[in-house]
Amino acid sequence: MKTILALREAECAWVRDAFPCVHPLLLPICNKPFIEFLIDFAILVGSPAVRILGDGELDAVERYCENGSRWGIDISYANMQTGDSVETMLGKNRRFCDKERVMMVSGFSFVRYDKRRDYKSLAGSMPEGEWVAGPGGSITLFGAPEKPEAQAADAPLSLMALDGMASYYRASMEALETGADRYVLPGYGGEPGCAIGRNVVMSKSVEIRKPVSIGNNVQLLGDAIIGPSAIIGSNVIIDRESTVESSIVFDNTYIGEQLEVIGRIASGNRLSDPVSGVAVTMEDPHLLSGIRKSEALGALPRKIVHALGALILIVLLAVPFLVVSTLLRLGGGWRSATGDYLSGKSGETISLGKVEPDAANALDTIASTLSLDRYPWLFRVLTAELALIGSTPLPAETQHPNAPANALAYRPGVFSYAEAEQWPATGGDAAIVERYHLVHSGPISDIGLVVKAFVNRPHEKTTP
């Protein structure tokens, strides 16, 4: 049996209005794109091939699903006309159907199924015709039953039309509450009702109240309360003492300090009430805002300020560096080892020499106090390979959770924000501090933090 998934733009126009950055088929339901629930169901029914039909653009869906090898099936794509009837759609995709039985899922509806049940036998024994229908769509079988004589046990199957914010919210909460029992949901979960993605950094005082689903690269800061019934997307920051309950927080959203998000959908700087449909676009970035990694980290003024700062330090420290490093080298106290570190650009590395003075004599103390071990790195700021202040450079040979591919924000720096704030250079809290400043700090505050790091580093070394 093959599966055709047919979606018309008119059926999901509200998604385009409410969440302009998300393709309707990729609308997350409990942190899983809507299309994946349909693909999972097609797999449960025993489809080796799925064709996705749409009367709008499918580029984003194609980029996400690719050829379906991730699920072990073939996924192909085709366009249809808005007014195409079912017969026309089947006719246009005759080659794909290839005389096999076809299941057509049409409309923008959430399919309620139970992954533990045998839909393959059930679909194989069902007569041709409509299997299930609802106000927002239907599932129809075409072609003769594959095993008409088979006695298949009944299995729950129904459709919930996703016709607006309210039904979308209901479907998401239902998926969260029924959880991994009925659907395959993303995230790791040691216990029912709690699914947490990769690289989630939580302060110790964060309180999690089940059920919750938390995406990847999420930062939950001190005294935040998450749940019950909270769906937190990926690349989200929930700031200190904020509560997120019975709510959906979309990817790349920042929730400010001491806020209460209850029964809401937060998407970037837009907060919506799923029941009334009222939505407000926040103009205060400290309350609610979208997180844009590239703009925050790659801003030209920031790079210029960093380069100027590095230039000043290069000039000021040139003489001490030449004198102290030469004397230490002669005495064998200047040990340098070159290693590869993760660059700010995904998949790239940079080579950095790391110096470790012994701190056993006066020269070593001067070298440490003036951060002369980092002096050669300052030149890398001029070539924009390093920031003057940023993340602690991560070794390239290990799969770090903070690697650029995973992390919300990573940009290696000569000095790190963790050093400026006197956090231990390793550990989750340091990662929170670094990412917070990468996203929220500006060129001027960066200079202040460089000074703090410069002053704090020798102190850090002398602290046991």
Partner 1 sequence: MKFTLDNIDGHLVGIAELEGRLDASNSKPLQKIMPEWLEKTPFLVFDCSRLDFIDSSGLGAIVGCLRKAIDNKGDLRLSELNGKVAMVFELTKATRLFSIFTNRGEAVASFAAGADPGSAK
Residues that bind partner 1 (CB under 8 A): 258-262, 264, 271, 273, 276, 278-280, 282-284, 286-288
Question: Of the two residues 271 and 372, which places its CB atom closer to partner 1 in the complex?
Answer: 271
Count the helix, strand and coil residues of the chain and give each as a percent rounded to the nearest 5. Answer: 35, 25, 40
Question: Of the two residues 227 and 357, which places its CB atom closer to partner 1 in the complex?
Answer: 227
Question: Of the two residues 56 and 256, which places its CB atom closer to partner 1 in the complex?
Answer: 256
- Cα distance between residue 408 and residue 199, in whole Å: 9
Question: Of the two residues 284 and 295, which places its CB atom closer to partner 1 in the complex?
Answer: 284
Task: Quickly count: other Cβ atoms within 10 Å of residue 151's Cβ.
Answer: 7
- Cα distance between residue 129 and residue 144, in whole Å: 10
Residue 462 DSSP code: H
Please work out, in degrees rounded to the nearest 5, the angle formed at the alpha carbon of residue 159 by the alpha carbons of 155 and 161: 170
Burial 305-324 (b: 16+ CB within 10 A, else e): bbbebbeebbeebeeebeeb
Looking at residue 185, its amino acid is L
Helix or strand (DSSP H, E) at 294: helix 293-298
Question: Of the two residues 66 and 260, which places its CB atom closer to partner 1 in the complex?
Answer: 260
Q: Give least dist CB 419 to partner 1, A.
A: 32
Q: Give least dist CB 82 to partner 1, A.
A: 33
Q: Give least dist CB 241 to partner 1, A.
A: 10
- The alpha carbon of residue 431 and the mean position of all alpha carbons in its chain are separated, in whole angstroms, by 16
Question: Of the two residues 193 and 274, which places its CB atom closer to partner 1 in the complex?
Answer: 274
- Cα distance between residue 104 and residue 123, in whole Å: 12
- Cα distance between residue 275 and residue 412, in whole Å: 44
Question: Of the two residues 37 and 254, which places its CB atom closer to partner 1 in the complex?
Answer: 254
Phi, psi of 125 (to 5 degrees): -100, -10
- Tell me how long the chain is: 464
Q: Give least dist CB 273 to partner 1, A.
A: 6
Question: Of the two residues 125 and 269, which places its CB atom closer to partner 1 in the complex?
Answer: 269
Q: Give least dist CB 278 to partner 1, A.
A: 3
- The alpha carbon of residue 145 and the mean position of all alpha carbons in its chain are separated, in whole angstroms, by 42
Question: Of the two residues 261 and 420, which places its CB atom closer to partner 1 in the complex?
Answer: 261
Q: Give least dist CB 267 to partner 1, A.
A: 14
- Cα distance between residue 317 and residue 320, in whole Å: 5
Q: Give least dist CB 229 to partner 1, A.
A: 17
Q: Give least dist CB 390 to partner 1, A.
A: 29
Sign of CA dihedral 434, 439, 440, 446: positive
Residue keyed to tokens 């000569």: 414
Helix or strand (DSSP H, E) at 309: helix 300-330
377 Rama sector, left if φ>0, alpha if ψ -120 to 50, beta otherwise: alpha
Q: Give least dist CB 253 to partner 1, A.
A: 13
Phi, psi of 356 (to 5 degrees): -125, 90
Q: Give least dist CB 243 to partner 1, A.
A: 9
Residue 236 DSSP code: -
Q: Give least dist CB 367 to partner 1, A.
A: 47
- Cα distance between residue 29 and residue 265, in whole Å: 12
Strand order across the 74-79 sheet: 74-79, 49-54, 2-7, 102-107, 137-142, 129-134
Q: Give least dist CB 249 to partner 1, A.
A: 13
- Cα distance between residue 32 and residue 110, in whole Å: 12
- Cα distance between residue 172 and residue 274, in whole Å: 11
Question: Of the two residues 239 and 446, which places its CB atom closer to partner 1 in the complex?
Answer: 239
Question: Of the two residues 88 and 258, which places its CB atom closer to partner 1 in the complex?
Answer: 258
Question: Of the two residues 276 and 338, which places its CB atom closer to partner 1 in the complex?
Answer: 276
